[in-house]
Amino acid sequence: MADLWMPGATRLDIGDHAPTDGGPAKAVAHITWDRNATAAKPTDLVSYEDLRSYFSGSGKGVAPHILWDVFTGRFTQFVPANSRSKSLVDQAGGTRTNRAGSVVIQVEALFFPYCRVGQTVYPRLVDTPCKGWEQLQDWVHSWGVPNTWPMGRPVDFTSHRAEAIWEKDAGWYGHQQVPENTHQDPGSWPEFVDVTPTEPPAKPKVSLAHVVYAARHDPAAAQGHTSHKNEVLVVERALKAEGLLASQWVDGSFGTKTIDAYARWQRSPAGGGYVGSDADGIPGAASLRRLAARHGFTVTA
């Protein structure tokens, strides 16, 4: 299962998590562009620490998932991968830009055109060291975002937006390619380290009938009894990733702790917002498919 928090990144959780809408997995490339410089008048780069403080403070309302220091390879993550962030303009009644995919992972590279670091001036993002790009690419890819640019890899600051492509195609998008937005960044972005297509790993399969059987039989059985252990483990790991089940209860037994955790999932907005007897901790088709969509497994009959 993919990591909600990028390995190696500083975790600075700003809260305000909210689910995405499902659909093609996307990543969006931004640059911070917090100063305007020119070839004739380059300007010193704003510090990574200042931007991190901004996105965790007064700039929470526009924070991305990831702040990337392209000069040192440092990363800070502000929300988990399966939550929307708020870096894109999202007009009422439109495509819900920040949520329009199974994930919409937004990356802000610490950069503006003609920034100066030491004695060197960098006109484009791709002129920088782009340290850490391989790790970032691999983590984003682990969430199902293919190593492709459906509207083409950004090479300048020309805007090009096609909502039909955005709605149906998974992959990386520049801010300049996102519907409802007027920004022209990032202007350039590094090439993928390895664009050779590979078959994604097969998704685990969970039978609804099997986990319902386990939920009805395991609690009354002897401690540690398991029914369909491997499938129950998939569900328990997803509940753990949601923060609903402690690690010691991820054991393949659909016992009372798992029942309680699944009931909390059913009551949550992401799980369906069920109430009363509809949130009894026994998996239903709709709530299990919602959990599967967020955690990369397939539900069968």
| Overall pTM surpassing 0.85 (yes/no) | no
Q: Which of 42, 46, 48, 45 is nearest to 73 (CA)?
A: 48
Domains of the chain by start residue, with CATH: 10-177 (3.40.80), 205-300 (no CATH)
Residue that the structure tokens 């059985």 belong to: 221
N residues, the chain: 301
Which distant-in-sequence residues (6+ apart) come within 8 Å of 9 by Cβ? 66, 75, 76, 77
pLDDT digits (tens, 9 = 90+) for 38-67: 999 999 999 999 999 999 999 999 999 999
DSSP E strand boundaries for the chain: 10-11, 26-31, 43-44, 66-69, 74-77, 104-109, 115-117, 120-122, 171-174, 205-207, 298-300
pLDDT digits (tens, 9 = 90+) for 176-224: 999 999 999 999 999 999 755 556 678 899 999 999 999 999 999 988 8
Q: Is the Cβ–Cβ distance between 96 and 22 less than 8 Å? A: no
Q: How far apart are CA 203 and CA 183, in angstroms?
A: 36
Q: Is the Cβ–Cβ distance between 72 and 144 less than 8 Å? A: no
CA of residue 113 relative to chain centroid, distance: 27
